[in-house]
């Protein structure tokens, strides 16, 4: 079999991906992107099941799982577990160094058990109107979340970041944005979904234009931020504030 296709299923909120085929230079990008897309919906965890139908003639190609783990650890911050069901897969993951970074088990049951171990995330979701009042509503939602989750040190930076993300979505995407706020061990995540597939671009401030400082404030205040394509054709612009402010 040439190339890699990914069969997916949902098991109690955990996204389970089963790659089938040969992982090589040509199929590497597709497998990487397919796994990243599964994380966009922020499932409880992502489990990748490696069975006899998946082969990687070159161990170097297995770094795709480290790449996916690193991307997902920034956002949405969900656990990633590999279920290496053959002795060859376990051997190659260990020799390639992947298992030093990505949690690896021997079967699906063990992977699901390990995926359930991290602390339960705290989560809020808010649909916003396509108007300038969206930023006001988003700020109030973030303020309430920071109070409920006892994050007084983050509230000021979080209000600045969510204002930029929501205002950009309303101004440039022309769609009704959806705000997602999540607290995880890695930090406070703010993500805004809109219907425009064009990625967000870091631009310089426009002096004298209130509320339009570009994304350089987001870049300065957050430990990580980025743009991820959404399965519906739009995008999600996300940013993660460390539990200790950068400034």
Position 120 scores a pLDDT of 60
| 95 shares a domain with 182 | no
Q: State whether residue 48 is helix, strand or coil.
A: strand
Q: Which residues contact 29 (CB under 8 A, 6 or more apart)?
A: none
246 lies in a domain? no
Residues 61-89: pLDDT tens digits? 999 999 999 999 888 888 999 999 999 99
CATH number for the domain harbouring residue 67: 3.30.750.24
| 204 shares a domain with 94 | no
Cα dist from 23 to 131, 162, 185, whole Å: 46, 39, 32
| 126 shares a domain with 92 | no
Phi, psi of 106, deg, nearest 5: -100, -10
Cα dist from 127 to 135, 141, 194, whole Å: 11, 11, 11
Confidence check: pLDDT of 206 > 50: no
pTM: 0.77
Quick check: 230 and 33 in contact, CB under 8 A?
A: no
Residues 111-153: pLDDT tens digits? 999 988 866 678 899 999 999 899 999 999 999 999 999 999 9
| Domain boundaries, position 224 | 122-241
Position 216 scores a pLDDT of 86
Position 209 scores a pLDDT of 46
204 lies in a domain? yes
Most confident of 25-29, 211-215, 241-245: 25-29
Query: For all residues of the chain together, what is the average pLDDT?
Result: 89
Strand 14-22 to 54-55 pairing: parallel
111 lies in a domain? yes
Domain tally, the chain: 2
3-state SS, 134-146, equals HHHHHHHHHHHHH
Position 74 scores a pLDDT of 81
């Amino acid at each position: 079999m040439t190339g890699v296709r990914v069969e997916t299923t949902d098991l109690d909120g955990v996204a389970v991906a089963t790659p089938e085929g040969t992982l090589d230079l040509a199929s590497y990008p597709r497998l990487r992107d397919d796994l990243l897309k599964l994380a966009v919906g922020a499932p409880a965890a992502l489990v990748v099941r490696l069975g006899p139908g998946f082969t990687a003639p070159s161990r170097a190609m297995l770094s795709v799982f480290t790449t996916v783990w690193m991307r997902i650890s920034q956002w949405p911050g969900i656990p990633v577990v590999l279920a290496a069901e053959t002795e060859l897969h376990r051997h190659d993951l260990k020799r390639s160094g992947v298992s030093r970074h990505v949690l690896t088990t021997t079967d699906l049951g063990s992977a699901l058990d390990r995926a359930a171990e991290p602390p339960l995330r705290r989560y809020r979701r808010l649909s916003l109107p396509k108007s300038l009042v969206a930023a006001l509503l988003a700020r109030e939602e973030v303020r309430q979340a920071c109070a409920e989750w006892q994050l007084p040190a983050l509230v000021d930076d979080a209000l600045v970041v969510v204002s930029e993300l929501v205002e950009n979505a309303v101004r440039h995407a022309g769609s009704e944005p959806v705000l997602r706020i999540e607290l995880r061990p890695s930090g406070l995540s703010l993500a805004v979904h809109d219907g425009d597939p064009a990625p967000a671009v870091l631009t310089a401030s426009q002096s004298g234009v209130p509320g339009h400082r570009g994304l350089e404030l987001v870049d300065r205040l957050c430990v990580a931020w980025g743009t991820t394509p959404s399965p519906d054709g739009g995008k999600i612009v996300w940013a993660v504030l460390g539990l200790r402010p950068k400034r």
